[in-house]
């Protein structure tokens, strides 16, 4: 279904964020207030979530690629076309390794009994889950230059079709200064990363459980007329 009101609200929120008329916290709040069954709007809100920080308020901080992505999202919202999201799943040997690690932890827990000593047992299994995560980050290839230029689509044709259906849309020009902004300094990023290590180690059985499931490697959108 097409919810024109919800699309217009999403457009207003995105444009205000891109124009520095609101920060990340207000942007997130505005998007969160949009209640709709329009799958296109819900998809755009989901994609937008990955491009701002919800722990520190900040103005828009985008690379040229991120800016162009949001222009395509605005183009999509400006049209009366709908999208269908296609997900590409990945199964590989590391899923079996994660499952084996989980079974190993549960086996040791059953053998040794439940108690505080299990916190110590989570550490080596946490290291295993971190190695799996590191391997996946290296094994899963990033998007090519062409794919980045089309994302969330896989070709130019859907973008051209959107332009035909939304001739009123005008692409905003990228402002170089927003690419020079930073939300977290390098030292803060390293500290934030270190803060995740302890919870990761202590919750390693849960992490291994999640890692044993098939993972979505890519999400692409196609146009439904």
Give φ, ψ of 206 to 5 degrees.
Answer: -70, -40
Buried b (16+ CB within 10 A) or exposed e, 187-211: eeeeeeeeeeeeebbeebbebbbeb
Residue given tokens 């089309």 in the structure block: 150
pLDDT (0 to 100) of residue 221: 86
pLDDT digits over 112-129, tens only?
888 888 888 899 999 999
pLDDT digits over 39-86, tens only?
999 999 999 999 999 889 999 999 999 999 999 999 999 999 999 888
pLDDT (0 to 100) of residue 17: 97
Region 180-194: mean pLDDT is 87
pLDDT (0 to 100) of residue 162: 94
Q: What's this model's pTM, rounded to 2 decimal places?
A: 0.85
| Nearest residue to 46 (alpha-carbon basis) of 152, 191, 145, 204 | 152
Give the pLDDT band (50/70/90) at residue 139.
confident
pLDDT (0 to 100) of residue 147: 87
In whole angstroms, give the CA distance from residue 91 to residue 207: 17
Residue 75 tokens read as: 């183009």
Region 177-192: mean pLDDT is 89
Given a cut of 80, whether residue 225 has pLDDT beyond it is no
Give the pLDDT band (50/70/90) at residue 141.
confident
pLDDT digits over 85-111, tens only?
888 888 899 999 999 999 999 999 998
pLDDT (0 to 100) of residue 5: 96
For the chain, give the mean pLDDT: 92
Region 142-158: mean pLDDT is 88
Quickly list DSSP for 141-198.
Answer: ----HHHHHHTTSSSSHHHHHHHHH-TT--PPPPPHHHHS--SS-HHHHHHHHHHHHH
| Number of alpha carbons in the 13 Å side-chain half-sphere of residue 30 | 20
């Amino acid at each position: 279904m097409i919810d024109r009101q919800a699309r217009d609200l999403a457009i207003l929120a995105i444009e205000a964020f891109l124009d520095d008329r609101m920060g990340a916290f207000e942007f997130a709040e505005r998007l969160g207030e949009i209640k709709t069954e329009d799958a296109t709007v819900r998809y755009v809100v989901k994609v937008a979530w990955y491009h701002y920080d919800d722990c520190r308020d900040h103005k828009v901080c985008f690379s040229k690629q991120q800016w162009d992505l949001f222009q395509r999202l605005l183009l999509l919202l400006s049209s009366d076309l709908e999208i269908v999201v296609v997900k590409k799943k990945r199964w590989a040997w590391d899923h079996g390794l994660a499952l084996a690690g989980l079974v190993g932890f549960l086996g040791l827990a059953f053998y040794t009994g439940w108690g505080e000593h299990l916190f110590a047992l989570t550490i080596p299994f946490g290291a295993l889950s971190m190695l799996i995560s590191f391997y996946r980050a290296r094994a899963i290839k990033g998007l090519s230059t062409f794919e980045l230029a089309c994302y969330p689509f896989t070709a130019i044709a859907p973008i051209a079709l959107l332009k035909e259906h939304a001739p009123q849309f005008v692409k905003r020009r990228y402002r170089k200064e927003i690419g020079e902004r930073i939300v977290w300094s390098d030292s803060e990023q390293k500290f934030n990363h270190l803060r995740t290590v302890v919870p990761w180690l202590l919750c390693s059985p849960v992490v291994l459980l999640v890692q044993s499931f098939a993972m979505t490697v890519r999400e692409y959108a196609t146009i439904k007329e």
